[in-house]
Structure 1
Amino acid sequence: MLCFTKTPLQESLIELSDSSLNKMATDMFLAVRGP
């Protein structure tokens, strides 16, 4: 099931050991998702 929310994800759904990788994954998700 797919649900859309008004607030995008704040962190990666994949557990990443490096916080900078987590931030990069979130930023890329937002870029793909679009405005």
Structure 2
Amino acid sequence: MVATASFTANLLILIIRPQIEFKQSIVVSEIGFT
């Protein structure tokens, strides 16, 4: 039970973190272009 919870949390982090970094890089590039 605990193992599945941590596995699900790690999976969510793997899915969410790239999206956050991608949005941050877009914001940085927009600031750089203006």
Greater CA radius of gyration, 1 or 2? 2
Larger helix proportion, structure 1 or 2?
A: 2
Higher relative contact order (CA 8 A, sep 6+): 1
